[in-house]
Every structure is written in structure tokens, then in C-alpha cells.
Amino acid sequence: AGPIWVKSSNGGEKVFDMVLFATGRMPSTSDMGLEDLGVKLGRQGEILVDEYSQSDVPSIYAIGDVTNRVSLTPVAIREGMAFAQTVFGGEKTPVDHELIPSAIFTQPEMGTVGMSEEEARDAEPVEIYATSFRPMQSAFAGSSERVLMKLIVSKESRVVLGCHIVAPNAGELIQMVGIAIKNKLTKEQFDTTCAVHPTMSEELVTMREPTRTA
């Protein structure tokens, strides 16, 4: 098969060797009579809610995929916990949908959290720290499989804005990095953390020079 030509909904066009077609899911809210009750629905049928998962009808809340915010199981669980704390715990608890780590369990896995390089470049001047290498486990096994790691860093604040990993067990790695990025750690705080050797993840705290700036 030849290259795959993709045209996106915003008019952009790109050519790829492979495309992972992950269609996702649509909220199933038709024929429920929600709009008759005054509940507003979005373009894809999602229930529109505020930061506390409350709809336009004060007595109706919605969490999970039906709100089409971030359609991931752990996010729905977090929304449910926040709802319980808000309604039954007496403490209004919003859900932060920013900086949610996620992974694609292909082979190798892909993990991501925070801004992409493109998003960060459009927002502010950034430094990109990236590395691609053959990990020790590949070398010992006689495999040519390589690992890719990238950190997106704000030039001004030095805060790490995003991290992207393509590697075996990238899902496990990105969970830990997500804690650091959510708490707005700087590149220098990454750098002063001692590495665990020999591991793939030590590269995250040993990249010293940016590969490019934007």
C-alpha cells in the first residue's frame, strides 16, 4: 500500500505511512426528553454542563462520556467523585480537565500529557528537548526498537508544558510525568532530580540542551 493522504476538517492536508483510525463514541441522548426538561444539548448530543457537572436544570447533573468533555474512564470516575463531594459532601469541587495524561496502547505504546509542540509554539516561545535512542532492553534482546521522548518547556517561566513518549510501557511512564506537569514543575526541577540507571525514563531528567527553539 502507498502513502495515506489525510484531509482534516480544518482544511489541513498531510500524508502518512499509517493512520490509526480511532472513531471514539457519540453521546446517546436522543429520545430521552432532556430538552423538554430544559437541559441543553451540544452539537453532538452531549449534555452541556458547568465545571461542577451541573446542567442548566439545577437538579440534573451529568458525568462521563455523555458530556463529551474527555471521554476516558478515569476522567468519568474523577467527575463522579467530584459530583459526590459537591452534592453530598457540602464542598463545591470542580474537575480540572486540563493536563490529563493519556496513552495509546499500541506497540510501542504512546503516552502524552500537556501541550503538543504545535500548541505550545502558538501560545508562547518554547524550547524543545527531544531524544531518540535504543534502550538497553532492546540492545540486549537484539532488537532495533527505539524510544522517543520529548519535553516542551516555556522559555520564560521554564515550566514544562508537555511531555510525549513513544516507548514500551509509555503509559506507565506518562502517569508519573503527569504529576510533575500538573504541578507545574520547571525544567530545572527535572534536571536536579537524580536519575534511576539503567532506565529509559532517566532521559527525562538528563536532557540538558534543547534540540530546537520556537
CA distances for 91 relative to 5, 38, 82, 83, 85, angstroms: 50, 26, 9, 10, 6
* Catalytic residue check, 197: yes
| Distance of alpha carbon 12 from alpha carbon 27, whole angstroms | 27
| Distance of alpha carbon 96 from alpha carbon 76, whole angstroms | 12
Alpha-carbon torsion angle 107, 202, 177, 115, nearest 10: -80
Residue of 17, 197, 198, 208 marked catalytic: 197
Determine the straight-line distance between the first and last CA of the chain, rounded to whole angstroms: 35
Contact (CB, 8 A) for 161 and 112: no
Catalytic residues: 197
